[in-house]
A and B are shown apart, each in its own frame.
Chain A
């Protein structure tokens, strides 16, 4: 895989822990749990490495921060508003481009419920201040930046917010976020907001009047739209109203696992019909299947194949939605803010301690490529689903 230019930089190393900020014992970024390598032959592994080296590897959805080792410290950690970035882990991830989604529902810096405008700005500013002191990771603002990352052995981070909740009813806040560097945004999180319905709601009234203004402004300014957490009706409305392709950056097929977190065939097809892209999700206990109810890469790839068959290989990719730390533990601690209860209800399943094969941002793409190679996917198809499709959609949605 491509060696990234990492020189050992650690988050906020220009400040003094204990004096300038509160230190926490952090989770390990690599080998936090036993490493799982999808089994492949020697020849296949050579091809895997070649693909990682040559093709654009793009994760449509991650959280590249490192959580505290003790999940019970998560609230205090979040409240500090100074999340550390997994530079060490990202250096060996094989990623060229990663959609970073910051604190999303856990942005509880000044509030319990999260999603406050000032907290979102705080999170962006602090993370960016960290990125500005090293040279491996940088925030991508143009298509050129994405190619430059690959060329220069760096990683381009696409700043993304999972929901427009923080903009309240101010459409100009789209512009402000864009100016600060945000290039992708969800319309709603699992809860409704002024733009439309979230996926946890029992009824979905669709995209609101204000939501239509927001979609229009995002189209005009060049911010990619994401409906991963929207209700089905809202997601379909967005796909129809938007004049540009739309993402559903991290989801799966409800046909395989009947929860409201998964998406209906109709919603998936609406996104594809508009030229958009569906990223398959791998956060714990989301993309389960009847054949693979213990969440692992096998369950996730079943969702991938279902969606690929439904809408074609041009409209599917991976948005694993992983992080560095105990993701299952975090779901428990933050159940309310992440609406875990309301969105994982459905068929009975057995909880796993972690998702084998797709546990953190470093593990995902090498294993995804191994799985695709060992399952006989041709080079061109692999190239599309690990990054080519994402590039196409970004070119169609970004201003430059």
Chain B
């Protein structure tokens, strides 16, 4: 974060009347739902962390920076069906992020359908979020690297819009262009379920990138849309890396070597991604990046994944894609288990204990602080911290984006 965030107190949709123009829900307390945990630093480290937070461009490669209802079990389906999600302005203003990759409603985009992922629904979600953001100027939409740099320089926060899986494009390659024109700058090839492009990570067999999938990858390369394979099956991911003429992202993953689940990436996939110049973001959504050493999901197990991946592929190819949100994420997973394919992709569910939240990396605000604090505490150099916190991502974006 370059300077103090220029947030003036704007509240989501404040130009409309709640209850009259839209249905209002009782919202959770943002970044204060669960007790905050900050990695303890000594005075010198604290000062260094604060300096670096100011100087560095800090980018989160994967989040859902919106507020959720206080009572998820009761309200979540209705909240999502309204298609009017609440951007967490105040909470983001309290974070160190200069740029956040915003993944919108992903598998829970059930505005017009039960199963989600409809073209009409993702357009609605994009348009609705942007209609709100257009009424203030702390958060800006990032379409070029210059926008991210400007956000840092001006105390703003740049959102990069991402669609986590290409199912909504069906078999229409021009929909890549349409999404690009509407502001989307990264797309996942598949979500955890297969689609016309290839296999998702939950499938038992992976037939690889399809003919249509190859057309889409080519179009994404030509138009300048970044490619993400976080939720894609391993063979399909390898095919994408091979077919793409540009580096790709694995925006929110971990190492399968540390915890045997389909959700996490095997070493050969991580290496293939890095070998072609790509960047890997470490994931922190509940019950993903646990390890045999740390079966209780927290920032400790999360950082074990970071260290492992960093050692495997090098400091130039790793970053953080925490995949957090503002609200009870565990409850959300329960409510949306089917849509998020959590069953069958978490590994041996008898071998770990469920946590109520992921301590230390519970939401985007806390995550922005502790990722930096961890690197400082471990004694990483300024240059390496700069790389991990954002320069690696910028390097790929400069190559991939217009």
List A residues at the B interface (Cβ < 8 Å).
Answer: 14-15, 20-21, 81-82, 117-118, 121-122, 124-133, 141, 172, 175-181, 217, 220-222, 399-400
| Interchain nearest-CB distance for B48 vs A (Å) | 37
A178 near B134 with CB under 8 A, answer yes
Selected contact of B182 from candidates A118, A128, A217, CB within 8 Å:
A128
B178/A180 in contact, CB under 8 A: no
Binds A, one of B119-127, B192-200, B302-310, B321-329: B119-127
Cβ of A21: which chain B residues have Cβ within 8 Å of it? 174
The A interface is mostly helix, strand or loop, or mixed, namely helix
10 contacts between A and B (CB under 8 A): A14-B223, A20-B219, A20-B222, A125-B180, A129-B180, A131-B181, A132-B181, A175-B127, A180-B130, A221-B15
| Set of chain B residues within 8 Å of A15, measured between Cβ atoms | 222-223
Q: Which residues of A contact B127 (CB under 8 A)?
A: 175-180
Are B128 and A179 in contact, with the CB atoms below 8 A? yes
Set of chain A residues within 8 Å of B16, measured between Cβ atoms:
220-221
- When A126-B178, A129-B178, A220-B16 are in contact, do A176 and B223 touch as well, CB less than 8 Å? no
CB contact list, B109-161 vs A, under 8 A: 119-120, 123-124, 126-135, 137, 143
Whether, in the assembled complex, B177 has its beta carbon less than 8 Å from a beta carbon of chain A, the answer is yes
B270 at the A interface (CB under 8 A): no
Give complex CA distance A130, B143 in Å: 13
Q: With the chains together, A128 CA to B182 CA distance in Å?
A: 7
Interface of chain B, helix or strand or loop or mixed?
A: helix
- Identify which of A117, A125, A131 contacts B178 (C-beta below 8 A): A125
Q: Report A-chain residues with C-beta under 8 Å of the C-beta of B174.
A: 21, 81-82, 122, 126
CB of B83 within 8 A of CB of A399, answer no
Report, nearest first, the 10 A-B pairs whose CB atoms are least far apart: A125-B178, A176-B127, A128-B181, A179-B130, A179-B131, A129-B181, A179-B127, A125-B181, A175-B131, A129-B177
Minimum CB distance partner of B133 in chain A: A179
Which of A14, A126, A179 is the one whose CB lies under 8 Å from B134? Answer: A179
User: Across the interface, which residues of B come within 8 angstroms of A127, CB to CB?
Assistant: 181
Bound CA span A178–B131, Å: 6
Report chain B residues within 8 Å CB of A178.
127, 130-131, 134
* A129: B residues at CB distance < 8 A: 177-178, 180-181, 223
Say how far B160's CB is from chain A's closest CB, in angstroms.
14
Cβ contact within 8 Å between A132 and B180? yes
The residue in chain B whose Cβ has the minimal distance to the Cβ of A109 is B174
CA distance A130 to B219 in the complex (A): 14
